[in-house]
Structure 1
Amino acid sequence: MKLTTTLVCMCCFILFGHAQQQDAPSPIIFIYDASGSMWGQMQGKTKMEIASGVLSTAINELPENQEIGLVAYGHRKKGDCNDVETLLAMDNSSKTKVSSAVKTIKPLGMTPLAYSATTVIDQLRKTKKKATIILITDGIESCDGNICDVVKAAKMEGIDFKLHIVGFGLKANETEQLKCAANAGDGNYYDAADAGGLGDAMNEVVVQTVDKKEGNFGVYAVKNGVPIDSWVRAYSTDSKKEVAAVRTYGETRYMYLPPGKYDLIAQPLSSNVKAVTIKNVAVIDENKTERTISFDGGKIATNTTNNGEGWDTMVKIIDENGDVAASGRTYGRVKELEVNPGTYKVEIQALAMKGLDTYHEVDNITVTAGETTPIEHDFKTGTIHIYAKVGGEDIDSIVNIKEVNTGKGVDAGRTYNRGKEFLVNPGMYQIKIQPLGVHKDKNPQTITVELKKGQTITKSLNFEG
């Protein structure tokens, strides 16, 4: 019995140990820029200080059993294109050693990107391991090498790795070779313009490892034909849970989505462009597909009139969540408002007129990118002139107008010794006139009028002197 128990325990230990080994992630190897340009200042700190802090923060989020290698270039000899050193082997499991090592590096020399990549690839060739390589650089190749050619050759040889490159403060015309290398290495190029951008890039890049299932769903975000940077998150249509997310960086970037249906929420990283939602996107299989997400707006053109003439109104466009997507004032002209593609409600409030028909609502207006959807509405009014008189002279009075059927007060005003004009919707109205000032003790008079579209009614009410 004792022997049986011992054997069972040994088997469990072996199986458990094997599972742990299987679950251990593949190494991540950082290639760290220690060229002289890393002394450059950015936001009050050297780029070396910023990169060191960001790298330390990023690796702290990695699993405890993550192996992390560190290779640096340009830190020992000025002008030496072979100055590449493995500071920590890829089987290092101490995050503290990585943080300590980068803090002691003193930038000095050249930027041998191709030779640095060759050094790491040689290590993978010898160990026959697969790994994620993350290159951080603030400059382009300065030693006549071509990192893209190095990576392509290694992939043709069958060496298993994923290469990401983070460009720190590079100019747009300096990134072509780096993008080529990242693409050849089945990874991404990340452009970091400042400390915040470097932090964002590092947080994303450390989870896009060689172990992660290859992306099958590519997204590309554009606004008026120009690519823009955007976060795209995919939610299961059924469970509403987030399944995957990717940042586009102005390019086509991939995430892995199992076959199924998804709602995509794309949030542009630009303050003047609003998020869009694309529902029920079907992923049929694991073959690569791509989706262009357009932030091009469509327009709603509102033309409001009163008795056929252009009229001033306030317009609100309400989205499916009940939020105001856009608003504006017509000033008697056609008003165009741009919104994201989708379905909206349009609310129109007429100005200057009174009555029960000064508000109009149009539901289920479909807006398509690049197209203009027209909406027209004609309000109707008539005019009532009221004069209060004593002995043939105009006097000051207060006028209250109620709609007869509802008893609702629709307008009020004072005649100020010159009469008062009221612009109201057609209808049956009860009008009460109460003299003011020296005549305030006189009894009010009430009249009823029926007003039709375009009609002008003038009423003079005489009060005894």
Structure 2
Amino acid sequence: MAMPVIAAEKAIIILDASGSMWAQVDGKARITIARETLATVLKGVPDDLELGFMAYGHREKGNCDDIEMMVEPAAGTAAAILKAADGITPKGKTPLSAAVRMAADDLKFTEEKATVILITDGLETCNVDPCALGNDLESQGVDFTVDVVGFGLTEEEGKQVACLADNTGGQYFSAQDGDSLVKALAQTVAETAKPAPAPEPKPAPVEDEFNLIPTATLSEGGPDIVDDKVDLVWEIYKAKADGTQGEYVTTSYGSTYKVNLDPGEYLISAGEGSAKATMPVTIKAGKVSKPHFVINGAILKVHPRPSEGADVDKDATVTIAWPNDETTFYGEITTVVPAGEVTLNVSIGAAKVSETFTATAGDTIDKDVIVGSGIGSFQSEYVEGQAVDDDIFLEVFEAKKALDGSRKSVTNGYGGNQTFDLPQGDYVVDYTLDGTKGEVPFSIKTGERTDVTLVLDAGVVAFTTPGDDYIEVLGAKKDIKGNRESFDYGYGPAFETTLKAGDYVIKSLDKETPLTVPAGERTEITLK
């Protein structure tokens, strides 16, 4: 697939090389598909595109620092990137956020325009919030973008990493097979190579004086809004001959605002979100225009707390909704809402609270919102005192079962040491690590921390085979129909799994080999 030969940019491709990249798609490992995709797409890369290559999770298991810059960004690196990708053996965790941060720093994203292209088949497993990282990089970067390609992710999983692209002005692509992966990666590389649009010229000043000095108020006859109250968003467009919105001119922030504009007809709005007023304004040569905007809104201050007397939770999600629109903030906020019915939804982790009220124009509404949450802290151990440092998956369910025996899922995550914010109640946490599964009940009280230790009673088994042979671990006992339970499977030449202590049968190379797994120990087996 040939790429257009256009202006050069600078980018780094990050490839997920965690253990899950051995999963099969149409009989072929994901890592193999990824290598083939790189070979196809890099054929059309412009000669002057400065492209680098990074991978994570390819050197050791359970290490969140296993991130390596394999090819530094430079022109003409296609061959070097392909060679580096061919030498990768997936095996570890998924520190995708730390990898993006490292790539951004390498590209000097606070000084120059830069792009990171992330290809991942899994979610973050190293206790870093990719959404918050995106916001942080966007706020510091000169012109920084992350494009994310979710390879084999479900729609719900995709949403959990798409925010990394959304928050930096990038794009998220879903790829479920080799063809769609080629298409997605080719598009991200093509977008990276496009030249940036020329900046629009700034309006010329009029004799070093401002010719537009607008003011705004929340309600008719109310006092002007000043900067110590709340910031406003000012948007200016040229007006067409019929009075409708025309060419974009500028956007500015702050309750007090002054600017120089060329003489002409404009449409100007002041406010925030749906709480704003728009009016036509005429700028005349040598004259100062002082339009007054009545926003018809109220100031809303929200202080989200997990419990009475607790500190404000800076990571709380605050969604404000009104008819036909809504907006989302994080932590403690001060904003402007339109007069009328407003619904406030606040969540801390899985704990949520909702309230609907009427906002009156000109009012200041100050709310302490008590979400009613506690903390569940989970420590996973192979045996007592021996911590799990691998990609163990935890999922929290409500303890109560439905009529069909199912439970409602509340939240989930990866890692041996995790914490979740949960509403008060009774729960069950399910854990899965390779072929090891189990569940533990626990309870949460508002404003309290509950520590839960998950003792897996398990050991690690490492298999070595002559080639990429199929390996399956089965239970030693057969059921009444003569079948054995399958606990895990993988492919050689090196395959590692975690199993509860006990007896098993290994099926590989057309043979069945007995296996006993001791708890808290590593067992190494060579299959010949």
Identify whether the pair has TM-score above 0.5, normalized to the shorter chain. Answer: no
Q: TM-score, normalised by structure 2?
A: 0.36
Q: TM-score, normalised by structure 1?
A: 0.41
Looking at secondary structure, tell me which structure has more helix per residue.
1
